[in-house]
Amino acid sequence: MSLIELDLQTQHHFSDGLYAKQMVLPKDHFAITHAHKYDHLSILASGKVVVDVNGLRTEYVAPACINILADQNHSIIALEDSVWFCVHATDETDADSVDEVLIRS
Taking phi over 0 as left and psi of -120 to 50 as alpha, with beta for the rest, 35 belongs to beta
Question: What CATH number is associated with residue 34?
Answer: 2.60.120.10
Banded pLDDT at 6 (limits 50, 70, 90): low
Domain count of the chain?
1
Whether residue 4 lies inside any domain: the answer is: no
Instruction: Note the pLDDT of residue 72.
Output: 94
Judge contact between 76 and 36, C-beta under 8 A. Answer: no
Instruction: Note the pLDDT of residue 46.
Output: 98
User: For residue range 40-85, what is the model confidence (pLDDT) as tens digits?
Assistant: 999 999 999 999 999 999 999 999 999 999 999 999 999 999 999 9
Whether residue 27 lies inside any domain: the answer is: yes
CA distance 9 to 1: 24
Spell out the SS3 assignment of the chain.
CCCCCCCCCCEEEEECCEEEEEEEECCCCEEEEECECCCEEEEEEECEEEEEECCEEEEEECCEEEEECCCCCEEEEECCCEEEEEEEECCCCCCCCHHHHHECC
Whether residue 54 lies inside any domain: the answer is: yes
Whether the per-residue pLDDT at 2 is higher than 50: the answer is no
Q: Which domain holds residue 31?
A: 11-93
Whether residue 101 lies inside any domain: the answer is: no
Whether residue 73 lies inside any domain: the answer is: yes
Whether residue 28 lies inside any domain: the answer is: yes
CA distance 29 to 36: 21
Whether residue 5 lies inside any domain: the answer is: no
Mean confidence (pLDDT) of the chain: 90
